[in-house]
Amino acid sequence: MPLVVLCGLPYSGRSRRAEELRGALAAEGRAVCVVDDAAVLGAEDATVYGDSAREKALRGALRAAVERRLSRRDVVILDSLNYIKGFRYELYCLARAARTPLCLVYCVRPGSVSAGPRAAADPGRNGGAGQRPRAEDGGRPLAAGAAVRREPWAAEPQEAEQETAAPALPAFGTPEFEESAKLGSSASYPPELMEALTVRFEAPDSRNRWDRPLFTLVGLEAPLPLAEIRAALFENQAPPPHQSTQSQPLASGSFLHQLDQVTSQVLAGLMEAQKSAVPGDLLKLPGTTEHLRFTRPLTMAELSRLRRQFISYTKMHPNNENLPQLANMFLQYLSQSLH
């Protein structure tokens, strides 16, 4: 069943949204499984995101937990920061390999840098629900959640510093929102860690195939777009599987033996037929319904090299349906390679 990936900074109401979505789907009789940091670590620990090695191990554990639970019966909801686009791409590949749809729910704190001034004032629709937050930098739009990077030696105006401040400061949200968002989190994130996470945050972009369909929710006041999420999960087709994740066509145990036998018979018949042939003759070889035009005498070394090439290519795409046509296929390969 589908995979729902929740993305957002701490105190953005992400866990509350995950619980709301789980309750709505469970009320419809669907089996829902929620995977979060606490389920992997035993308890939510904010200090993990201050240690790159521990954070990498956490991402691996989350990915493994999601992979184990992806099935045809359960809806899997991943409730974590998921702020690295490379990790979101790995989750997309998991869903593609399992041939199941997925969607991304991006939770943004109202009034924060992640949301941007436009998203906080006029939340709309993006990829099915919600306007993707944007910020302006010199007239060019920036991706939602992108922090303005500053060089350590560069001095900037006081106004710019205020705009790029960490979202952990109280000025970015109301006390009511702070208390409501913290209800879904048992860990406390210090301001220094919040600022570091804001700088490292790679906001989702609906132009990326692994970030769509994208639903952006600003604050807890905006209603959860259940109808759009339900359509994305249960009515959309799964991402097309990559060739490396597809199983090879079934082939009989005697396929290679028959391939070797047929090509050997064709070579033996060709060596015998060319003894009495003159250029321009059409040679009829055993096991074939087509003819080969004789242009010049061929050596066994040359024919053996072409036979090895044909066998190597055919072994990569074995198919029992091609068994009756192996001789004609080899004859066509010889004709194209020799002329």
Question: What secondary structure does DSSP assign to 108-120, as a single string?
Answer: E-TTSTTTHHHHH
Q: Residue 217's closest CA among 312, 161, 144? A: 144
Question: What is residue 236's predicted lDDT score, i.e. its pLDDT?
Answer: 86
Question: What is residue 18's predicted lDDT score, i.e. its pLDDT?
Answer: 95
Instruction: Quote the CA–CA distance of 300 and 291 in Å, as a whole number.
Output: 19
Question: Which residues are within 8 A (CB) of 203 and not within 5 positions of it... i.e. 6 or more apart?
Answer: 106, 114, 133, 143, 144, 145, 146
Q: Residue 106's closest CA among 196, 229, 197? A: 229
pLDDT of the chain, 339 residues: tens digit per residue: 799 999 999 999 999 999 999 999 999 999 999 999 988 888 878 899 999 999 999 999 999 999 999 877 789 999 999 999 999 999 999 998 888 999 999 999 887 644 433 333 333 334 444 434 333 344 344 444 444 343 333 333 333 333 333 333 333 344 444 454 454 555 789 999 999 999 999 999 999 999 999 999 998 888 899 999 999 999 888 877 666 555 555 455 677 888 888 999 999 999 998 888 888 888 888 888 888 888 888 899 999 999 999 988 888 777 666 677 888 888 899 888 887
Strand pairing report for 140-142 and 3-7: unpaired
Residues comprising the chain, all counted: 339
**Secondary structure E strands in the chain:** 3-7, 31-36, 74-79, 102-108, 135-137, 140-142, 214-218, 282-284, 291-293
∠ at Cα 232 (75, 68), nearest 5°?
25
- For residues 130 and 217, the answer to whether their CB atoms sit within 8 Å is yes
Question: What is residue 36's predicted lDDT score, i.e. its pLDDT?
Answer: 93
- For residues 20 and 79, the answer to whether their CB atoms sit within 8 Å is no
What is each CA distance from 239 to 95, 100, 102, 154, 226, in whole angstroms?
Answer: 8, 7, 8, 44, 21
Strand pairing report for 282-284 and 291-293: antiparallel
Q: Given the structure tokens 């905006």, which residue do they identify?
A: 222
Helix (H) or strand (E) holding 209: none
Give the start-to-end residue ranges of the domains of the chain. 3-113+185-245, 253-338
> Whole-prediction pTM value?
0.56
Instruction: State whether CATH 3.40.50.2300 applies to domain 3-113+185-245.
Output: no
Q: How far is CA 242 from the centre of its chain?
A: 10
Question: Which residues are within 8 A (CB) of 63 and not within 5 positions of it... i.e. 6 or more apart?
Answer: 87, 90, 91, 94
